[in-house]
Structure 1
Amino acid sequence: MALRALTLLSAAAMALVGTVPLAGSASAHGSVINPASRNYGCWERWGDDHLNPAMAQEDPMCWQAWQDDPNAMWNWNGLYKNNVGGQHQQHVPNGTLCSGGHAEGGRYDSLDAVGAWKTTNITSNFTINLYDQASHGADYFLVYVTKQGFDPTREAMGWDDLDLVAQTGRYAPSQNYRINVNTSGYSGRHVVYTVWKASHMDQTYYICSDVNFT
């Protein structure tokens, strides 16, 4: 009798567990993973070793970001603003483009820091890979590249420092999006700036990826 009661209790517990969403699913969003966004790259390189003091010398821009707010890396897929209404320049002032205009109460402000962030090598024709864990879809993507001659290691980035190099239409909900970008005339260090307008609501992501055109 006791064994039967225990079995029924276990079954009820399992049924209850089945009604609880997995932890973190409500906050799951996305970001550019290649060329890696600043905070995704810091999480990818140091997430398993983020307390290592060697980071200060080996990867100083990531070091200052981890010191400022580790949640900016753990939540690398949550850099967005709601209710922008397409007015990107009004909601994301110059000098704050990489933090999405102090998104999430300033959690990502360290991403605006000027310095030699680690870069991804790309060619003039490259592909942006964006991971969308929640399958939000996209109304559009805007892809910018910093103007030739602009040095992101010495100057904060503003909208006037960007060239629009790609503008897409809608993408159906998926977890992986690929945006093919064709450019010319760029060499050396740049920032690729991706604006992703999600489809599920008025929610926009602002993503800085440091690159080296080879």
Structure 2
Amino acid sequence: MFGPARDCHDPNTLGAGRRVLTLVLSAFAAALLALVPWSGTAVAHGSVVDPASRNYGCWLRWGSDFQNPAMAQQDPMCWQAWQADPNAMWNWNGLYRNGSAGNFQAVVPDGQLCSGGRTEGGRYNALDAVGAWKTTDIATDDFTVHLYDQASHGADYFRVYVTKQGFDPATRPLTWSSLQLVAQTGRYAPANTYDIPVSTSGLSGRHVVYTIWQASHMDQTYFLCSDVNFT
């Protein structure tokens, strides 16, 4: 009626039990990991660190306190970015596209410049949000863009743009036509830091410094928005 009894020491019974236990423990561990924010970076790449790119600045200011509700009033653009996808800040060095072949305006449409054309599955989309992002003060016409390259990729070149005078990035989405090229470099040998000298003239108030970094190790391009205030 009940079928043959199974020996509790039968290897088949023990093996099946272990498999079930392993599956249960694996599911439990995955559930715990989903509840814990990850504070590392998946792959070492890089970003502009001065003037800070949008997501690097958010990580720098709030990475150790990203659940503080005060951010909503003190730094609302970072707040909306953290709410949209915290991994955009933890992975502040991963905002790139592969295979652009130099045709940047085709792969990065207007309104999507700060997210690199909604790259990485949309992880960085909140960086395109229009608003009063925190700015870095720049006191002179000539300044230096500092870029940190964790992986020492090197650069085929850098292009640095600044928004034109009269364009307000706090109220309008960033477009290619709103930018003016202020620096273009040659190759940089692989290193951890790069300095790109920039010369401007007649700029005042809020602007975006837009840096394109074409890495040397493969066709990998970084698109980086830094909010500044020319004093």
| 1:115 counterpart SS class | coil
**Percent identity over the alignment?**
74
1:122-161 correspondence to structure 2 within 5 Å: 122=138, 123-161=140-178
* Equivalent residue in structure 2 for 1:44, among 43, 56, 60: 60
Code of the residue aligned with 2:65 in structure 1: it is D
Deviations 1:79-121 (A, max 9, x none): 0000000000001000000000001010000000000000000
Question: C-alpha offsets along residues 164-195 of structure 1, whole Å, 9 cap, x if unaligned?
Answer: 00000000000000001011011000000000
CA distance in 2, matches of 1:37, 1:182: 19
1:59 and 1:107 map into 2 onto residues whose CA distance is 20
Q: In structure 2, which of residues 176, 182, 192 is the aligned counterpart of residue 175 of structure 1?
A: 192
Distance 1:185 1:89 in 2: 27
Which consecutive unaligned segments of at least 5 residues does structure 1 have? Answer: 1-23
The 8 Å contact of residues 159 and 185 in structure 2, kept in 1 or not, is answered as: yes
Which of 77, 83, 96 is the aligned partner of 2:112? 96
Q: How many residues of Structure 1 are paired with residues of Structure 2 in the alignment? A: 191
- Partners of 2:41 and 2:106 lie apart in 1 by 30
Question: C-alpha distance in 1, partners of 2:109/2:128?
Answer: 11
Deviations 1:11-59 (A, max 9, x none): xxxxxxxxxxxxx787110000000000000000000000000000000
Alpha-carbon distance change, 199 to 150 in structure 1, aligned in 2, over 3 angstroms:
same
Q: 117, 123, 141: which one pairs with 2:133?
A: 117
**TM-score computed with the length of structure 1 as normaliser:** 0.88
- Provide the rounded CA distance (Å) in 2 between the counterparts of 1:25 and 1:92: 24
Alignment match, 2:208: 191
d(CA) in 2 for partners of 1:165, 1:202: 23
TM (norm. structure 2) is 0.82
Report the secondary structure of 1:27's partner residue.
coil
RMSD of aligned Cα (Å):
1.0
Corresponding residue to 2:98 among 82, 105, 111: 82
Name the aligned partner's letter for residue 146 of structure 1.
Answer: T
- Aligned mates of 1:25, 1:142 — CA distance in 2: 25
Kindly tell me: are residues 25 and 107 of structure 1, through their superposed partners in 2, closer, same or farther at Cα, counting changes over 3 Å? Answer: closer
CA distance in 1, matches of 2:53, 2:141: 18
